[in-house]
Structure 1
Amino acid sequence: MDINKSIIGMVHVGALPGTPKSCHSLAEIIEQATSDAQKLEKGGVDAIMIENMHDRPYLNRKVGPEIVAAMTAVATKIRQVVTIPLGIQILAGANKQALAVGHSAGFDFIRAEGFVFGHMADEGMMNSDAAELLRYRKKIGADRIKIWTDIKKKHSSHAISADVSIGEMAKAAEFFLSDGVIVTGNATGEEASLNDVEAVKAVTGLPLIIGSGINEQNIAGFWPFADAFIVGSSFKIAGNWENEVELERVQDFMKRVSDLRKNS
C-alpha cells in the first residue's frame, strides 16, 4: 500500500456482543459499519481503518473469541463492499487478534499499540510485544500486512519511559522492524505536537502517520512532515467520534486535501 499523503478514514464499529454498551445485533452493527465505510470511500478517502472503539472499557491485550468473530464478520463484509485499502485495530492492544482478523479478511495493515517500550494504559500495564507479534505474523503467513505502531501513545502514561524521547522511541520501532510509526495527541480528537512530529521525522525513514486530531484547519501545518493522516472525529456528525460518518464532512475535508496536493 502506497501511503504517500494518504487520508485514512475511521470506522468505529458499534459495541460488540458481550461488551457493556452492546445494544444492537451483529447484523445491525455490520450494516452501520459498512454504511460508514461506503460513505468514506464515496467521499474520496484513500484507505479505511476499522476499530472496536465502542467496546469500552477495553480489555488489556486479551479479547474473547466473540470479539474476534464479530470483527471478522464486520471486516469481511466491508472488504466486499469497498475497493480501497483497509486496516484494523482491536482495542486494547489486541495486536495478534487484529493481525489474524486482517489476514483472514484480506486487509492491508493493522495499527498496533505497545509495540516498543512498555507503558501504563487506561487498561493497566501494557508491555511491548514486537517480538511476539512479528513472529506471529511470520507464523500465519501474513507478511504482506503492514504493522503501523503507536509511539508514546494517547490515553497513556509514559512516566516509566520519561527518559526516552519520542525520537528514540521511533528509532527503536524502526530497529524492531515496524512498518510505520504513529504520532498522536494525548487523547482521541486532540492534535499531535508538531515538535513531536518534527522530532520523529528527523530520525527515521519509516512512514510517519498522524493518528489523532487532524481537521480541515490544522492539516496544512502537518502536511510537510507526515506520510498519512488517520481521521476519525472530523468525519463524524458534529465532529463527535461516537456518531456516524457524514458524507458532506468527508467531501469538504477531501477538497481541502486536494488543494494541498495541488500546491505541494
Structure 2
Amino acid sequence: MDFEQIFKTPNPIIGVVHLLPLPSSPRWGGSLKAVIDRAEREAAALAAGGVDGIIVENFFDAPFTNSRVDPAVVSAMTSIVERLRGIVTIPIGVNVLRNDAHSSLAIATCVGAKFIRVNVLTGVMVTDQGIIEGRAHDLMRYRRELGSDVKIFADVLVKHAQPLGTPSLTLTVRETLERGLADGVILSGMATGMPPSLEDLELAKHAARNKPVLIGSGATWENISELMQAADGAIVSSSLKRHGNIEAPIDPIRVGQFVDAAHSSVDRDGAIAPSPSYKKVPS
C-alpha cells in the first residue's frame, strides 16, 4: 500500500490527537476514561473539519524517555487508537514519543492503523532526552517479522534536537530513504510550531525523488499554500487548536479554515496552485 492508497487524496492534511497524560507519566491524572473521552472529541472534530488522516501521540507524557516507554503507555494507546478507529473512517497513524518506534509499529499493526512517525530512524541526535540513535535495522526487521504493511514516515534532522556532526539535509534525506528504508520523510522547523523553510522543503523534495515529503510542524492557514509548493502533505497540530494554544482542545472552526486553505492550493489533478501572495518563509 503506497502513500496515495492510504490517504485517497493528493497532498493530505494529517491532524494530530495529543493524548492527555497516560498511566506511568509524570502528570498522569488517574482517569483513563478522561483521556479517551478527550481523544474521541479531538478525532471527531478533526474528521468533521475535513482532515485526510489523524496521528495519535502521547504528547503530554513529557518529559519523555529516549528509549522504550512503559508497557502501560503501550496498552493505553492501543486501546485508544482502536476506539478512534471505530469513530472515524479516515486513516490513523501512531507516534510513541520520544522515539519508541517498535511500540508504534506494534500498536499500528495490531489495531489496523496505517502509518507511524519515527523521530530518529537513522543517524544520531542530541535531544533533551539525551543522545538518541536511529535503529532502522531493528525496526525494518521487526516490520518484516510482524508481516506488517504499516508505512514508516521518518523525521529528518528532527525538531528539538541537534545532529552529531554537520550532515547535509540532502544527504540525510537520501540516507533515511535509501539506507533506512523509510517510506517517506518529515521535515520540521527547529521546534514545535516552527515551520521548515521553503528552501529546505525544496531541497528535501529533490533529494526524496518519488517518495513523499511531509511538513512536520509550523503549518498554518496563512502559510500552507506557500509551503505546499514543495511538499506532499502536512502534519498539523498547534494551529488547529483554540487560539493556536498547544495545550487547548481542537477548534473545529480552525480545522475547517486550515483545510480550506490547503485544498485551495491544490487543483483537481493534485498540482499545486501558485500562491497569490508568495513570499519566502524565513529560514
TM category, shorter: over 0.9
Shift of 1:22: 1.3
- 4+ long deviations beyond 6 Å: none
In the alignment, the residues of structure 2 paired with residue 24 and residue 258 of structure 1 have an alpha-carbon distance, to the nearest angstrom, of 40
Aligned with residue 165 of structure 2, among 161, 168, 176: 161
Q: Does 1:180 align with 2:184?
A: yes
Contact 2:24–2:70 (Cα < 8 Å) also in 1: no
Q: Deviations over 1:65-112 (max 9, x none)?
A: 101001001111001111001101001100000000111111000001
In the alignment, the residues of structure 2 paired with residue 103 and residue 171 of structure 1 have an alpha-carbon distance, to the nearest angstrom, of 26
Contact 1:20–1:55 (Cα < 8 Å) also in 2: yes
Shift of 1:255: 1.6
Q: Gapped runs of 5+ residues in structure 2? A: 274-283
Q: 1:161 aligns to what SS in structure 2? A: coil
Query: Residue in 1 aligned with 2:129?
Result: 123
Shift of 1:224: 1.5
In the alignment, the residues of structure 2 paired with residue 188 and residue 8 of structure 1 have an alpha-carbon distance, to the nearest angstrom, of 16
Q: Which moved more, 1:198-207 or 1:29-38?
A: 198-207
Shift of 1:136: 0.5
In the alignment, the residues of structure 1 paired with residue 30 and residue 231 of structure 2 have an alpha-carbon distance, to the nearest angstrom, of 37
In the alignment, the residues of structure 1 paired with residue 76 and residue 32 of structure 2 have an alpha-carbon distance, to the nearest angstrom, of 7
TM-score, with length taken from structure 2 = 0.90
In the alignment, the residues of structure 1 paired with residue 46 and residue 165 of structure 2 have an alpha-carbon distance, to the nearest angstrom, of 37
Contact 1:117–1:161 (Cα < 8 Å) also in 2: no
Query: Residue in 1 aligned with 2:14?
Result: 8
Shift of 1:196: 1.3
In the alignment, the residues of structure 1 paired with residue 165 and residue 152 of structure 2 have an alpha-carbon distance, to the nearest angstrom, of 22
Shift of 1:17: 1.2
Q: 1:248 aligns to what SS in structure 2? A: helix
TM-score, with length taken from structure 1 = 0.96
1:91-240 mapped onto 2 (5 Å cutoff): 91-142=97-148, 144-158=149-163, 160-162=164-166, 164-176=167-179, 177-205=181-209, 206-240=211-245
Q: How big is the alpha-carbon RMSD for the aligned residues of Structure 1 and Structure 2? A: 1.1
In the alignment, the residues of structure 2 paired with residue 156 and residue 118 of structure 1 have an alpha-carbon distance, to the nearest angstrom, of 10
| 1:224 alignment partner AA | Q
Q: Gapped runs of 5+ residues in structure 1? A: none
| 1:246 alignment partner AA | D
Q: 2:15 aligns to what SS in structure 1? A: strand
Q: Deviations over 1:214-255 (max 9, x none)?
A: 001111111121001000001111101221101111111112
| 2:176 alignment partner AA | A
Query: Residue in 2 aligned with 1:248?
Result: 253
Shift of 1:127: 0.7
Say how many residue pairs are matched: 261
In the alignment, the residues of structure 1 paired with residue 257 and residue 30 of structure 2 have an alpha-carbon distance, to the nearest angstrom, of 31
In the alignment, the residues of structure 2 paired with residue 109 and residue 24 of structure 1 have an alpha-carbon distance, to the nearest angstrom, of 29
